[in-house]
Structure formats: structure tokens, C-alpha cells
Homo-oligomer: A and B are copies of this chain.
């Protein structure tokens, strides 16, 4: 049976909730008096459909049905979850709950997306306060897992437990808070940072761009994978969290922020933090935490590198300045020999559960080697922008030896054929003298417009032919043209 969610109030947040439920297979019924609501939710859904399903390594259920309704009473019909995302005015929210509760199932969860109001405030004038909880998500709702689930004693145990289960089912991470506070947890940090940032701009210390770089090139990368305390636990090292806090205690009286109202760093507070940190992270040694952190950071940095953005762009700029590999045929020292097309260390994120470089990364390295060979014969980014490129039609890899993260590998490439639409390559991958793998690849030149085979332009065909001619004098590689199972 398909579950139904009601979305009260569209916009970016309501639309994000709609996407979460729809793409998890729920039917979604929307109420929003804004005549633009359908368009706005459609835009959020477009973004969600391109990004969310691929996050999982298994197919999500088929999408549910999306419908728009003119009356709240109609929208909540059959809903077991009702998400309210109307503007942040307490009177408005209370009025919405009164209307909702005349029509909705008495055991449906009513979640509020409020950033600031406490659940007790929302429950204030309600017919059934036990039904109402805070479910505060983060934009983009369809990608970020966090939901602050804030409850009061009136909610009892059953409804919050059901809410947690449903939030997990739709792919979110409910953080349950039973002590309520203005702005919950996360937005308090954001508000503190925001106020500090306003001072910096007002005082002419830094611009918005400089402030953003100070975040995303440094602690922002850390916070994508470990929070404040786990990060500082590592910084404290073997001396431990207690030592770290005591050591940094004096800073609290220094003018390091405009926030000068600080709690006394009593023994009780220090003990509470140290004990909580032990409970949170004590299952790992500091050395283990360092390596987990570094694996995560390498993964994030390399991901951003592939997107050519932020800290990843910094890495790309540096790589582009490297002259370790030829960028054109003129730069190849000796075209009569196989060409060096990859020379790199194996990244931490290329290894798998077997502890060695994963098979797909062999093809990634060979793919990089092919890209470099293409660049060398003139099929570079500028050429591709004119509408021609080579697509791989066929690949044959022989895995001959293992290799581990950090080791240096290189790939040398022989052109077996480089005439007409075809480019037939043979790659050897080495670590030192050790042959790790060979890759044989048949590529076809294509028009990026028609996506069909086409002749390369002379600016590519000629250098490729020159290299192929030079390589024709080399012996045919052992293993070229071999088939699996044929010996």
C-alpha cells in the first residue's frame, strides 16, 4: 500500500519535502495558495530527480503520485504525514494546525519545518498538541540528511518513534531533541557565524568571498565528515579531550569573537564534555580517527576536484601547472617509443574492501591515459568544444598484479592503429618495473552532434597518424588481440 504525505506550504523547503516523499515512493498531496506553487515545486523536483536517485546503489521505488489541492482539508485526506512549511509567523502556524486538525487523521504526524519556534509554542493552542512536532530540515532538503526532530512530553513515545522510522525510510537522519530551545541546535551555530560575519563585513575586515573561502577551504571540509568535538578530540591527541579543553580555556576570555557571554569552564563542564566525547568517539584510537578523517578528506577533495570546484579547483590549478606529462606531440621526447600517459600516486579512495586498487580504477587510470594520448595528438578540450571526440567502443584489461594506495604508477601507451575513424591503443601500467596490468582499447571518433562515427579533423588525424607510423615499428604487444578464455 502506498503511503501518503501532505505538504502544507510549497516553496523551496516544502518542495524539498515533496521530493523526499515522492522519490521514496509516497503519494504527495500539496496545499499552497500561491499560484506559482506548482511551478516552484516542479523546479525543486527537477533538481531532486537529477541528483537524489543516484545517491543510492540500489534503485529507489517508483515515484508516487503528486497532486495539488485547493483546500487543506482535501490535501490531508489519507495522509499519515503532514509537513507544514508556511512562513515563520506563530499565529499563522497555529491557525493552520487548527484547520488541519479538523480534517486529518488523529494519529498522523504533523511536522513543522520551523527554524525558530519551539514545539511547545506550536502545540500551544492546538486541538491535539500530541500530534505536532518540529521536523526542521536543511536546504537542499532532497540531499542533506539532517532533520532536527524536537518533541515535548505531550508527544509521548509512540508518535516520535514512528516519525523517526518514517524519516529514516525516506533517507533522512532524524536528530531527536527532547529539550527544546529557540532555533534548535544547528541554526544557533549558523546564527552565531552569521552575526560574526556581519561584523566582519561592517568593519571592512573581509568580503563575502573572503569569508566563504575561509570556510570552504578549511574547517568546512572537516565539518562535512566530523563535527566540532570529534575534530578537536583528534587535535587534542593522546593527551585527550580534557587536556584540550583546559588548554584552550584561556581563549574564552580573549576577544576572539564578538560573542563575549561565555559559560564558566568549571570542572563539571569539562568532565561532561570529556565523558560525552569518550562515549561518542572512544571506540577509535586517535590514530584511527586521524586515518578515518584523512580518508574522508581525500575522498571529499578528490570529489571536488572532479567537479573542478572550491578546494578541488585549487588541486586542478596545480596539476595543470605540472610538466610531468607531455601535452602535445612536440613535447614527447621520443615518439618511436610508447608514450608516458599517466604518472601518479594511487589515491586513498581508489582502494576497496580487498585492500588494493579496485578493478574499476584500473580502467579509470587507463581512461586517463587515453585522455592524455588524445590531448597529445590534438584532441584536447578546445578540439572537443568544436564537436569531435573519441568514444571507447571496446576494452580488454588483464590484471596481472596488485597495487596499494600511495604507490606510484605510470602508464605507457602504444598506438596500434590510428587511421580513419579508429584509434586502437595498448596501455601498460607499471609500478617501478612491476607490470600491474595491460589495457587494450578500441576508440571511434564521433561527432558530438550526431553521436555517430565521423572522421577526425586533420589537426588530430595528422599527429595521430605520425605517432601510429612511429609506433608501427615497435613489436606487437604480448596480449594484444587476446580474448578471455582463449589460450
Contact = CB atoms under 8 A, between A and B. Distances in A.
Interface in A323-371: 324-325, 343-350, 353-354, 358-364, 367-368
Contacts of A43: 287
B345 A53 contact: yes
Interface in A29-88: 43, 47, 49-51, 53-60
B398 A394 contact: yes
Contacts of A265: 198
A181 B200 CA distance: 9
B258 A261 contact: yes
A145 B481 contact: no
Interface in A210-256: 210-230, 234-235, 237, 251-252, 254-256
A357 B410 CA distance: 25
Given A251-B116, A344-B57, A215 B192 contact: no
Contacts of A296: 303-304, 307, 309-310
Contacts of A304: 224-225, 296, 299-300
Interface string A165-203: 000110111010101011101111111111111111111
A94 interface: no
Interface in A259-274: 259-263, 265, 269, 272-273
A143 interface: yes
A193 B189 contact: yes
A475 interface: no
A163 B256 CA distance: 26
Contact of A215 (B173, B186, B405): B186
Nearest to A53: B345
B219 A297 contact: no
Nearest to A318: B171
Contacts of A194: 228
A112 interface: no
Contacts of A386: none
A209 to B, nearest CB: 4
A315 interface: yes
A408 interface: yes
Contacts of A56: 315, 318-319, 322, 344-345
Contact of A212 (B168, B230, B234): B230
Given A168-B318, A294-B51, A195 B259 contact: yes
A276 B481 CA distance: 59
Given A224-B304, A297-B140, A395-B359, A175 B261 contact: no
A432 interface: no
A214 B199 CA distance: 25
Contacts of A301: 55, 143
A348 B306 CA distance: 11
A311 interface: yes
Given A259-B195, A301-B143, A399-B393, A280 B324 contact: no
Given A216-B224, A219-B190, A221-B224, A237 B483 contact: no
* List of 10 A-B pairs having minimum Cβ-Cβ separation, nearest first: A212-B227, A54-B347, A220-B223, A146-B218, A299-B303, A53-B345, A259-B259, A483-B483, A224-B224, A146-B217
24 contacts: A139-B235, A175-B217, A179-B205, A188-B200, A191-B251, A191-B257, A191-B259, A192-B258, A194-B228, A195-B252, A215-B227, A224-B311, A225-B304, A226-B310, A292-B309, A296-B309, A300-B303, A302-B303, A360-B361, A394-B396, A394-B397, A394-B398, A442-B485, A483-B483
